[in-house]
Amino acid sequence: MAQDVHCIIGASGQLGTEMALSLKAAGERVVLMDIKPPTYSGILDLPFERIDVCDAAGLADRIAHHHVNHIHHLAAALSARGEQDPQWAWNLNMKGLLNVLEIAAGALQPMRIFWPSSIAVFGPESGPIAGQEEHRWPATVYGISKNVGEQWCAWYRRNRGVDVRSVRYPGLIGTLAPPGGGTTDYAVEVFDHLDNAEPYSCFLEASERLPMMHMDDAVDAALSIMSAPQEAMRCEEAYNIQAMSFSPEELFVEIRRHVPDFRWTYAPDFRQGIAAGWPDGLDDRMAREDWGWSPTVDLPQLVDTMVRARRFKEPALGAV
Ligand code: AKB
């Protein structure tokens, strides 16, 4: 049997970089695609195609050229950036997804797609711990695009037989590549301020609890759901998953256990309004039951790993 060929669209981003490294370490064939080249040294030897996911013909051509049969479509405008440029964000998020779904629907060989949704599908009217079937009325362009994207995935699954799998990611925290334009980004950028003379200024309020996850668990979730038997999937849309919930204050207190001189302050901006509409946590029982979702990194472990990686240049947990 021919080996699977994975393509990562958005491979130079925060999650794409970590996923590329993980697939490479597992001996998989991987092609990286993005509008900007990767920067992390550990993946520079992988084939790279500079391509815009909105270029349907170009994307289809490169996917056929490499005989790709597993697409990880990660390219997206995130919540904070999306509010600043709504038309651009909507176009990128919806056109990109529809191009990928169309390519899979018309493919000559069976294709499998991973496309991440987000906690941003929930809104101010959702409960504090969002259930799998929670009421969804997102308040951001990003959230609306993820919510509608989930419905497009369900439509392509039902009507065009596309095997597309999805999870609702919380905030993702890792070291290999920076995040870009998210509301949960404070929990990554703070680790670049550990040794600053000035206190770190947080753009969310002290008590704003959000669901979060270390990158190793995020990559593991994607690869687990991609290898699960299709019959096991009861969920028509995207599965809730999370690893932990914390507020900025809880994170910073944990950091101070490792960095006694670490100081912080709060200057909430428009991103606080976005975060306030998201749940504190998710009920992810269905993912645990259907495909064995089981996170491994908790808050103390996350902080320990991130502090070491930043201060002592040690590799992140799963980095090789
Ligand atoms: C964001 O903050 O926009 C993302 C997300 C929660 O999907 N990290």
Confidence class for position 313, pLDDT limits 50, 70, 90: low
Ligand 1 is surrounded, with C-beta below 6 A, by 78-79, 118-120, 142, 169-171, 182-184
| Dist. CA 212 → ligand 1 center (Å) | 10
- Taking phi first (over 0 means left), then psi (-120 to 50 degrees means alpha), and beta for anything else, what does residue 230 get? alpha
Has residue 59 got a pLDDT over 60? yes
Does residue 277 contact residue 210 with C-beta atoms inside 8 Å? no
Write out pLDDT tens, residues 149-173. Answer: 999 999 999 999 999 999 999 999 9
Confidence class for position 179, pLDDT limits 50, 70, 90: confident
Has residue 314 got a pLDDT over 70? no
The arithmetic mean of pLDDT across residues 69-80, rounded, is 98
Question: Domain coordinates of the chain in residue numbers?
Answer: 5-175+209-245+272-311
Has residue 315 got a pLDDT over 90? no
Q: Give the per-residue pLDDT at 180.
A: 86
Residue 29 tokens, joined: 């064939």
Nearest Cα neighbor of 313 from 196, 194, 217, 202 is: 194
| Dist. CA 21 → ligand 1 center (Å) | 22
| Nearest-atom index, ligand 1, CA of 169 | 7
Q: Hey, whose CA ends up nearest to atom 7 of ligand 1? A: 118
pLDDT averaged over every residue in the chain: 95
Write out pLDDT tens, residues 84-129. Answer: 999 999 999 999 999 999 999 999 889 999 999 999 999 999 999 9
> Which of 172, 214, 244, 272 for mutating ligand 1's site (highest number of atoms within 8 Å of CB)?
172
The arithmetic mean of pLDDT across residues 235-239, rounded, is 94
Gap between the Cα atoms of 114 and 248, Å rounded = 30
Write out pLDDT tens, residues 5-17. Answer: 999 999 999 999 9
Instruction: Indicate if 142 belongs to the active site.
Output: yes
Does residue 30 contact residue 42 with C-beta atoms inside 8 Å? no
Has residue 235 got a pLDDT over 90? yes
The arithmetic mean of pLDDT across residues 304-314, rounded, is 84
Nearest Cα neighbor of 111 from 4, 221, 238 is: 4
Kindly report the CATH class assigned to 5-175+209-245+272-311. alpha beta
Q: Give the per-residue pLDDT at 319.
A: 45
The arithmetic mean of pLDDT across residues 200-217, rounded, is 98
The arithmetic mean of pLDDT across residues 294-315, rounded, is 89
Q: Give the per-residue pLDDT at 320.
A: 37
| Nearest-atom index, ligand 1, CA of 210 | 6
The arithmetic mean of pLDDT across residues 37-42, rounded, is 94
Has residue 312 got a pLDDT over 90? no
| Nearest-atom index, ligand 1, CA of 140 | 3
Q: Hey, whose CA ends up nearest to atom 4 of ligand 1? A: 182
